[in-house]
Structure 1
Amino acid sequence: MSGQARKWVWESSSSRGTARLVLLSIADRIPDDQCVAYASVTELMTRTNASRNAVRTSLALLADAGELEVIHEYEGPQHSTVYRMPRPAAWLAKVAAAQKADPALSVEDVKPLTDADPAPALRDLDEERLRKHRIWRTTGSKSGPPRQNPAGSASGPPRQNPTPPRVRNGPPSGAESDPQNCSSEPKVNRRYSSSGAAGLTSATDWQVDDASLSWAQQQGHLERLGEQGLQAADAKWRHYRATWSPRSAAAWATDWRSWIDREHTPSPQRPNLYALPGGSPAPQAGMTRSEAHMAALLAAIDEPTGTE
């Protein structure tokens, strides 16, 4: 009957993603027309290659959608949870009733399932058939025979539940959707991780690449600033970036281009434009003391603050 349950999932279920895989995994284990099967979260994690949280979330979504029921009165091996798929159970019950009334009727001739077709009541489950599939009533249940050890005789002592084997808290390594694996994977995006530090360099050690030089020429910055002015702007950029944390060559290239793009064109009114902090270049010939002082103030205003 697992084939009919899987067919219903493919054709009628509204589930998506991991929830659909979980529902298909349970449908694959259904043995008869009662549409009851047991499965543990660990087994579903292995079959769907999903994380524990993803499987639990999917089970809750399927229950809310009415496509899966948890039967608390029963349990499978090692206290596995027992589930029922009510809609396939309703369809198979409808087919059985129609064929009972007309034995010559085929499955294709049965009218499609509607919301008015209920699933059989849980109290009508055939416990004898469930026991054949290793599904028993939970301990302390008021009805049903005691759970027996399948490996022993019918008159043997009640089945003792062995201690469940220890399992990992997550699915096999490599599952993309498993958040449990995050703690064991290298943090490749951390700035100072061993794998990421290999491609980082300081502003002082970074060399202007050919692409940045071509950019400066194409954008007209080389002609605007002149070769000496471009070199002075580069020196000032390295001075203000010397204390910055290491970055990749591409990041420095982007920052360097932005700096050159904002650099002012040199003019006689700004003789100290490219002076570094602490420097005191001599004023140009012919400038009065007042003009030299004004030029120094203009240069100080144009100097970056280090926050750009």
Structure 2
Amino acid sequence: MSRAAREWVWEDSASRGNARLVLLSIADRIPDEQCVAWASVTSLMRRTNASRNAVRSAITALVEADEMEVLDDFDGPQHSTVYRLPRAAAWLAKVSATTEDNPHAYVGPLTDADPVPELDGARLRKHGIWPKTGSESDPRRQDLTGSESAPPRQNLTPPRIRIRPPSGSEPDPQNRSEPKVNRRYSSSSAAGLTSATAWQVDDASLSWAQQQGHLARLGEHGLQAADAKWRAHRADRSPRSAAAWAADWRSWIAREHSSTPQRPNLYALPGGTPTPQAGMTRSEAHMAALLAAVDEPTGTE
């Protein structure tokens, strides 16, 4: 029977684009001339290769065009939505009535006067379609377990639906930027965090700088300058623990170069030292060479 429903979609439906694909997908599931079938949005997305919003918009357009109905009083397997193609059902009923006595009789076009057949609940149940709980349109499902009252079907959680936490549990924050409990930077751990500008050099870090020779290499003023430079570079960093800042500060001080004179002597020029001064980088050595060449007497002064 799905073949007859698909032929009606191909020949008589005015749907286009995604709406036509959705209509064909539902028609492909129709088991009899009632033109009723169930389908989930996820299965329609997979069949039509369309997004969730596109499928929902297509369903809305088909309902507004009276080419499809959503049967809210019925449920398919796993509470899937039940759809009906009323005009296709009316067309199949007209074809059946016209060709009952003469299989070759001409069937005229479908008109508004052609009625849509009534639904047969017993036939729907054979295809896994049942009335919703509390509906008076059909009897309750048969209890196959032998108990006096069958338990209701399990309410399976639809995909991508967040389950509310039980009463008394900690809910998720309403603002996504707000940290969750027991996560990084949460209220339980934020008390031990501080910024780089607020962190104070501890005695252990000062003792380390003296024992490693960094205090003698940089001098007191050089150490203060290196500390100020470190704070300027770390001002925009996220808060961290005091131990983390101390380790980062020590790493910075160990890499800091000692201050050099404004015009250092060059090892490559006459009268210069045989080796470049300690702490000079290659770029600083090149700059010093240029400055020395500019100051060198030429005899034309």
- TM-score by length of structure 1 reads 0.48
- TM-score by length of structure 2 reads 0.49
* More contact order relative to length (CA 8 Å, sep ≥ 6): 1
Question: For the pair shown, which has the larger CA radius of gyration, 1 or 2?
Answer: 2
